[in-house]
Structure 1
Amino acid sequence: MSLFAEIALPVPLRQNFTYYVPEELAEIVRVGVQVLVQFGKRQKAGFVVGLSEKTELTEVKPIIDIVDPVPLFDEIELEFLREVAYLNFASLGETLKSALPTGFLVREKGRVFLENPSFVPQEAVSQKILSYLSNRGNASISTLRRLVGKHRLYYYLGKLKSARAISIEYDLVEQKTPLVKRVVRSRINDPDKLRELAVRSARNAFKKKALLYLLAEDPTREYDYSLLQKAFGSPALKSLEADGLIEVADEEILRIPQEFGISRPSTKIELTDEQKFAIRSILSSLDSPCVYLLYGVTGSGKTEVYIEIIREVLSRGKGVIYLVPEISMIPQLFTRLKLALAPERIAVFHSYLADGERYDIFRAVKEGIYRVVIGARSAVFLQLKSLGLIIVDEEHSSSYKQNEPPPYYNARDAAILKANYYSCPVILGSATPSIESFYRATKGEYKLLELSKRIPGSRLPSVEIVDLKDERASKKNFSILSSRLRSELENCLARGEKAILLLNRRGYSNLIQCNNCGYVPKCPDCGISYTYHRIGEKLLCHWCGREERATESCPNCGSFRFRFKGWGTQRIESELRELLKTTRIFRLDRDAVSLKDGASSVLSEFANSKGGILLGTQMISKGLDFPDVTLVGVLNADIGLNLPDFRSTERTFELLAQVSGRAGRGEKEGKVIIQTFSPSSPAIQYAISQNYHTFYTYEIEERRATNFPPFSKILLILLFHSNREKVARAAQELSEKLRAEKLEVLGAAPAPIERLRGEYRYQILIRNKELSPILKTLDKISLPRTLKVKVVVDPIELV
């Protein structure tokens, strides 16, 4: 009987491929396993997503081998991921790949060979690559990556390959690397018996005797083989093993990081009537895929509601995925859940863990070792043994949207989809729900639950606006701190209290300019000005990661009148230390979080300090709970307010309302000072009143008038190419095809950031009442194959 497998390959093609299953593999090839196949001239790893006894194809290649006979996906998870792929216009293979830690995946390991030593390229990077190859003949891609640093290696390799100066060969390498430790156990549990054996040992077997005496001290203990081998030697160990007195075994060690939380006293909180009602409502439908929108003002006790629901889910033998948008939120949350759910073990899963840690946590969760997982976006793909609840905290956050690589999914939407397959509820929580979610709740698609007041003992903070135009004009104050905010900070520190300062920007200075010739250093690949980072004295492009060493003189005219303008978190930290004469400043931004345990370390130090200032970007605006924070300052509320994006007003309101909610969460009253050049902006005015309902009423009418979500579905197509004319022509042709299919098409037009990483970008926006006709049309027409195309369903940002 012939057997054919439908294989999903991680390539940007929305189709699967049929391969013949050799007779030798027929008994072990199952849906969900990873296999090796020939795809073009290269071998690739793919996933079996279907089996059949017939095919209409006349020529079918065989499966080469199986990576692992254990399926990586069961039927339910596979169907869930099929729909994720379809709804995000992604290939199933790319979606399956993104749902697994890299430890499960077979990767390509490339080696570059010199083919034409006489070829002379123009680019310095290409010259460096060929010079290295001319001395050695060939080199691995990983070696060349170290050679050229953060320059776009594959871009230059592609140009050299097109010129036939080099060739590249690929091998497949299995990534999976379980950590194994060799251990020694005594087969005899009687200490006296072990001592007797030591006494009866040969007189010259000193190390063997000593080892037996050691085992007699605690016969039940497990010893590290390498340590015993170093202390007593291999012959003594082998002799005892041969005599049957010890057992030597290899045991896998799970690389589970010990996520240290932030110490805080465990206090019993009396639930409010609103909290009790929310808990009863959700508990009434734990076995059905209901979507609950838990809208509660900041400090209203949403986490306490989550904890009570989690307890009940665990008592029923099921597990919980708890999603948060920012890694900085995890340390405090981990502590709260660890105290509330003890002795339940809690896992943490996010992108800053090592590959081996993510691989081991994924397996431990799948095997049921952990039933509660706190994680960022990708944790939605974890395969709990028995899923009973998904929580999406701060559901409004744009951080839930995947940027790269595909699929470009939103973890909130994926969570709702997954809960439907597993017949369990989803709780979407926020003090500032997304406009789309609140609209669905008002229409009855989601069940709305409200917590309208803060828990007893705390009140919403007072909010005050400082007009920076007036500060500059009348007070001649050009400092980052207005006189009002500076005075409040000084008073706050003098009382031994804490403050949070928000600036939605990182780095030391956001603009470098020569005061002599006006030259502004820009990234040559993106055409965007560099940001100066004082730590490391470097200029960094925050779009492509390219960096250069900062110089004191202007590269254009040689003048030493090089000035750093604007403000980044590093520069503000330096200014605050000088202005306020304090060292108790704790900075939390992407630079800090990029270090392992960076967020935990900063937040723990801030929590344990007596007074101090937490300075950071938007990651400090949500989820943090410090009862002794009495002051919040927003250094510039206008950042992002005037971007050409229909969500810019909503994002500004969310950011201001969320960060304001960090103040006054304890017994002491909180205060918020917002510095702005646009005090009359609707987003800022509604943030002052801290009334989400009034903001929603305003914003939903704006969306209705402009026909943007939730009144339509939008899809963004981005086209990339190094040749501007080619990408502009392709974008125009594609937009005409789409219009011919009776779709509303905005563009083609250059993207707001037209050049990025050396490529020109054009964009097309499609708008329609329903998503399905858009997806069907894109499947029907042919997207350009000669340039890179990125399709994003429901884009969070249009810039």
Structure 2
Amino acid sequence: MNQVVTKHVEPAVSSLVEVAVPLPIFSSLTYRIPQELGGYLMPCARVLVPVGRRIVTGYVLGSAATQPTAEIKNIIDVLDREPLFSEDDLRFYRWVADYYHYPLGLTLKAALPPGLTIQYEDRAELSTYGEQALSDPSLDARSKHLLEILKTCGKLSVKTLRKKAGLQGFTYHLTKLSRAGLVHISSAPQRGKVRVCMQRWFTATDVAPPQNLRGRQQKLMSYIKDHSPVSEKTLRKEFGTVTQVLAALEQKGLITVSYREMLRVPPSYEPLCIEPQHSLTADQQTALNNIDPALDQRIFYPVLLYGITGSGKTEIYLHAMQRVLARGAQCLYLVPEIALTAQLYDRISSRLNVPIALLHSGMTDGERFDAWRMIRRAEVGVVIGARSALFAPFAKLGAIIVDEEHDSSYKQEDGLRYNARDMAVVRAKIKSCVVILGSATPSLESYANALAKKYHLVSLPRRVENRALPQVSIVPLQAQPEKRKTASILTEPLRRALAERLASGKQSLLFLNRRGFAPVYVCQTCGAALRCPNCAVSLIYHRGDKQLTCHYCGYGMALPQECPACGSYFLVWLGWGTERLEAELGMLFPGARIARMDRDTMAQRGAVHRLIKNMSRGTLDIVIGTQMLVKGYHLPEVTLVGVVCADQSLHFPDYRSSERTFQLLTQVAGRAGRGDTPGEVIIQTYTPDHYSIRCAQRHDYQTFYEVEMKNRRELGYPPYTKMVLLRFEGVQQARVHECATAVGALARKSAQAHPGIEILGPCVAPLARIRSRWRYHLLLKSSSSQKVRAFAHHLIEQASRCVRQTGVALIIDVDPLQMV
């Protein structure tokens, strides 16, 4: 184990430290180090500190540069005996917080594994004076109501008391009772959910067992003597419940107990994909010749690896990682989808003989905490993870790989709204290492950076073993509304191609980017569609659950027998989802083995692994999926890919819709023909002449890039401009509109002193209401990232009073990807 060197805050130099707290404040707070904690405190560790009446978990940033004039409070406790991250990591976290205009304390909380923040909650309890006051006739009704609840229920959390009381002005009345001494308010800790896991181990002593040792004690003693030292977990597995028996043996002096840290790791599955050693193609060797010198020199070197589907990008990644590991450094491999990590783990572990850690939100809090600490101690060589793995505290980071760098999943859409692809480049610069952004369909921003020489462009223009790209056919859909509920969305060419694959024993994929049975449930009499009461969207019909569901807030209702608007019984579903497509295929091909890959079917842990295993073993014929299906799976027996409707993403109200459509179609087409049999792709569409669809048919990224960049230049969208989206949210639409309008007017006035800033809006968001909150957008644009972020910062400072007064939430999204 590598020893982590810790640097303590030296009390003799300064007894004051700066602490970031996970609250919506942008400055750090200064605290005094009590004498009894001085020897334990170190930068980058957690501490308990008071903030107002609350006690919160804070993060030590270092010694305070100046002494504030306000009263300085003491640190209550130190929670870590070693730092959770390094000074270099902290530098990166500061950069992220500054760029995305997010408080540093909340940035650190988002970066760290979940469960490390100790939560405190306020609790209210009736005092003796409060009990006496209940008989006071002068006591107002609302105060009396609160006191009666506390007398009946005893001590309650303030949150629970608020719900039970249901009073307007609750905080005012509770504060008044507290100040009068009628109610005691105290804070109680809710311990963090995760901590170091210690396990008991048992060793046999030299004491001879007594002659009367019988039964389970004798069996257990014999096992411990033969296997010393042995863990309690192993003993429970062999003998069941052993706690009392072990206690008896220890009391007799026959065994000793010790404690060891137990690392929690995700469950292992049967390997699916063993990656053999391949001979490099000429294109791959050329690519590595461009990358290897930078790996050896340990310099910042951003690479865009543009390789068509099936060109062997993973082989480049494996060779690069092998070179980095050979000099004792670590590698970070980012993927856009958690489901990809299992197959990738198999491929990497079969080639690289090093410890590998997974790090993503699909793991338990304990597993993520232990992986974090192993990475910090340099006990693992390769880390495979989704976007949050970017924040891991690497001791010796040597290379970062961002696979499928174009994928929008790298952008976090709530809380800290960061883009892991862009931040990977920043992290590589801070760590002075190579970063490889790989894709068959690079984002326009990345490709523009490569052409501008900001990134080094490396290309793989041909598939390995000279395999042909799949032949792509476009089938126009009849642009007619459904005349009957059973009308099929599968055209004759696609049905015929599916039948041919079934007859030949080959596998097929069908892509439909909409889960559920049908997206609309509508009344044929009055035309009303059943909509979510909390969101401005239609409810999705899920036939398996026999209910209508909102995919935004989770609201659900049983399938109604009559229209809520007019009482008519003539209700019908419209449109197609993966569930309906699965039912349709079951009727068309009764003997086919069909599976579905979407959030509904893949929610259970290990579900994706089981589906890919069944595909690899040939026990499935057809897999239907949403965009989960598109992301990098290697399925050599798939020879047919059908795109059921290419228009769903194309007509989305977003300037990136054409780019997303081209990427989705090209990526899903790339799943076909990766083995020895040539592949075929059939794209069904209502807009067969759109350039994004035609370019995907020809596998022509260059033409698509030129056309789309021309459109972006004319409209003033990225990568020609940088944007900051201000979103206003609130329960009352009038207040949200008022606040957005006031800030918009303020923005236009301020922009007069800031040339080069363009302001669009405010206006109602395309999705006007989500989770009972109304949404308005104000968009700031400029050709300079620094200018638009500085203007946004200036505007937010000016508008903060207006936002606070209206009670509206202001959300800042730098470099937004989703504009809905």
Task: Please list, as runs of the form range in 1=range in 2, the aligned pairs for 1:546-695 lying within 5 A after superposition.
Answer: 546-695=555-704
Shift in CA distance, 239/162, structure 1 to aligned 2, threshold 3 Å: closer
Of 765, 773, 793, the match for 2:814: 793
1:180 to 2:198 alignment: yes
* Count of equivalent residues: 772
- Name 1:32's counterpart in structure 2: 44
Of 13, 31, 38, the match for 1:19: 31
- Name 1:362's counterpart in structure 2: 372
In the alignment, the residues of structure 1 paired with residue 578 and residue 780 of structure 2 have an alpha-carbon distance, to the nearest angstrom, of 37
- Output one character per residue of 1:393-429: Cα deviation in whole Å (capped at 9) or x when no partner: 0000000000122x10000111111111111100000
2:326 partner amino acid: S
| Contact 1:119-1:165 within 8 A present in 2 as well | no
1:304 to 2:325 alignment: no
In the alignment, the residues of structure 2 paired with residue 117 and residue 558 of structure 1 have an alpha-carbon distance, to the nearest angstrom, of 47
- Name 1:397's counterpart in structure 2: 407
- Output one character per residue of 1:235-281: Cα deviation in whole Å (capped at 9) or x when no partner: 775556764x5331223322201342652455442211110111122
- Name 2:188's counterpart in structure 1: 171
1:353 to 2:374 alignment: no
In the alignment, the residues of structure 2 paired with residue 328 and residue 207 of structure 1 have an alpha-carbon distance, to the nearest angstrom, of 44
| Contact 1:593-1:599 within 8 A present in 2 as well | yes
* Residue 61 of structure 1: how far off its partner (Å): 2.5
Of 727, 731, 737, the match for 2:746: 737
Shift in CA distance, 544/154, structure 1 to aligned 2, threshold 3 Å: farther
In the alignment, the residues of structure 2 paired with residue 475 and residue 523 of structure 1 have an alpha-carbon distance, to the nearest angstrom, of 25
In the alignment, the residues of structure 2 paired with residue 225 and residue 43 of structure 1 have an alpha-carbon distance, to the nearest angstrom, of 41
- Output one character per residue of 1:75-124: Cα deviation in whole Å (capped at 9) or x when no partner: 1000000001111111111110001111322234466889999779xxxx
| Contact 1:622-1:662 within 8 A present in 2 as well | no
Task: Please list, as runs of the form range in 1=range in 2, the aligned pairs for 1:229-628 lying within 5 A after superposition.
Answer: 234=244, 238=248, 243=253, 246-260=255-269, 263-264=272-273, 266-286=275-295, 287-341=298-352, 343-405=353-415, 407-456=416-465, 458-469=467-478, 478-628=487-637
Shift in CA distance, 228/335, structure 1 to aligned 2, threshold 3 Å: closer
- Name 1:149's counterpart in structure 2: none
2:299 partner amino acid: S
In the alignment, the residues of structure 2 paired with residue 593 and residue 337 of structure 1 have an alpha-carbon distance, to the nearest angstrom, of 23
Shift in CA distance, 649/214, structure 1 to aligned 2, threshold 3 Å: closer
Shift in CA distance, 586/238, structure 1 to aligned 2, threshold 3 Å: same
* Residue 550 of structure 1: how far off its partner (Å): 2.6
Shift in CA distance, 206/475, structure 1 to aligned 2, threshold 3 Å: closer
Of 745, 770, 773, the match for 1:759: 773
* Residue 359 of structure 1: how far off its partner (Å): 1.6
Shift in CA distance, 478/231, structure 1 to aligned 2, threshold 3 Å: closer
* Residue 209 of structure 1: how far off its partner (Å): 5.2
2:436 partner amino acid: I
| Contact 2:18-2:28 within 8 A present in 1 as well | yes
SS in 2 for 1:727: helix
2:191 partner amino acid: E
Shift in CA distance, 53/713, structure 1 to aligned 2, threshold 3 Å: closer
* Residue 759 of structure 1: how far off its partner (Å): 1.5
- Output one character per residue of 1:369-416: Cα deviation in whole Å (capped at 9) or x when no partner: 3221111110111122311111000000000000122x1000011111
- What is the RMSD of the two structures over their aligned residues, measured on CA atoms? 3.3
Of 90, 99, 103, the match for 1:91: 103
In the alignment, the residues of structure 2 paired with residue 47 and residue 476 of structure 1 have an alpha-carbon distance, to the nearest angstrom, of 59
In the alignment, the residues of structure 1 paired with residue 540 and residue 483 of structure 2 have an alpha-carbon distance, to the nearest angstrom, of 31
In the alignment, the residues of structure 1 paired with residue 104 and residue 655 of structure 2 have an alpha-carbon distance, to the nearest angstrom, of 31
- Name 1:724's counterpart in structure 2: 733
| Contact 2:400-2:428 within 8 A present in 1 as well | yes
1:171 partner amino acid: A
- Name 1:123's counterpart in structure 2: none
- Output one character per residue of 1:716-753: Cα deviation in whole Å (capped at 9) or x when no partner: 00011222222112112212222223321111111111
In the alignment, the residues of structure 1 paired with residue 104 and residue 676 of structure 2 have an alpha-carbon distance, to the nearest angstrom, of 52
In the alignment, the residues of structure 2 paired with residue 472 and residue 540 of structure 1 have an alpha-carbon distance, to the nearest angstrom, of 24
| Contact 1:664-1:670 within 8 A present in 2 as well | yes
1:754 partner amino acid: A
- Name 2:785's counterpart in structure 1: 771
| Contact 1:182-1:225 within 8 A present in 2 as well | no
In the alignment, the residues of structure 1 paired with residue 401 and residue 590 of structure 2 have an alpha-carbon distance, to the nearest angstrom, of 43
Shift in CA distance, 232/621, structure 1 to aligned 2, threshold 3 Å: closer
The TM-score normalised by the length of structure 1 is 0.90
Of 753, 757, 762, the match for 1:748: 762
SS in 2 for 1:340: coil
SS in 2 for 1:171: strand
1:54 to 2:66 alignment: yes
1:279 partner amino acid: L
| Contact 1:261-1:331 within 8 A present in 2 as well | no
* Residue 764 of structure 1: how far off its partner (Å): 0.6
1:779 partner amino acid: H
Shift in CA distance, 474/38, structure 1 to aligned 2, threshold 3 Å: closer
- Name 1:191's counterpart in structure 2: none
The TM-score normalised by the length of structure 2 is 0.87
* Residue 206 of structure 1: how far off its partner (Å): 7.0
- Output one character per residue of 1:51-82: Cα deviation in whole Å (capped at 9) or x when no partner: 12631423223322222242222110000000
In the alignment, the residues of structure 1 paired with residue 449 and residue 662 of structure 2 have an alpha-carbon distance, to the nearest angstrom, of 20
**Structure 1: runs of 5 or more not aligned:** 121-128, 145-152, 189-193
Shift in CA distance, 210/756, structure 1 to aligned 2, threshold 3 Å: closer
Of 12, 17, 34, the match for 1:5: 17
In the alignment, the residues of structure 1 paired with residue 743 and residue 238 of structure 2 have an alpha-carbon distance, to the nearest angstrom, of 69
SS in 2 for 1:572: helix
In the alignment, the residues of structure 2 paired with residue 156 and residue 271 of structure 1 have an alpha-carbon distance, to the nearest angstrom, of 71
In the alignment, the residues of structure 2 paired with residue 6 and residue 55 of structure 1 have an alpha-carbon distance, to the nearest angstrom, of 10
In the alignment, the residues of structure 1 paired with residue 109 and residue 237 of structure 2 have an alpha-carbon distance, to the nearest angstrom, of 39
| Contact 1:715-1:766 within 8 A present in 2 as well | yes
- Name 2:84's counterpart in structure 1: 72
1:571 partner amino acid: R
Shift in CA distance, 156/316, structure 1 to aligned 2, threshold 3 Å: farther
1:251 partner amino acid: R
Shift in CA distance, 262/465, structure 1 to aligned 2, threshold 3 Å: farther
| Contact 2:724-2:792 within 8 A present in 1 as well | no
2:384 partner amino acid: I
* Residue 645 of structure 1: how far off its partner (Å): 1.6
- Name 2:4's counterpart in structure 1: none
* Residue 561 of structure 1: how far off its partner (Å): 2.2
In the alignment, the residues of structure 1 paired with residue 566 and residue 529 of structure 2 have an alpha-carbon distance, to the nearest angstrom, of 11
| Contact 2:202-2:224 within 8 A present in 1 as well | no
- Output one character per residue of 1:9-52: Cα deviation in whole Å (capped at 9) or x when no partner: 11222222222333333333322121222223322211111312
**Range with bigger deviation, 67-76 or 204-213:** 204-213
| Contact 1:97-1:105 within 8 A present in 2 as well | yes
Shift in CA distance, 551/219, structure 1 to aligned 2, threshold 3 Å: same
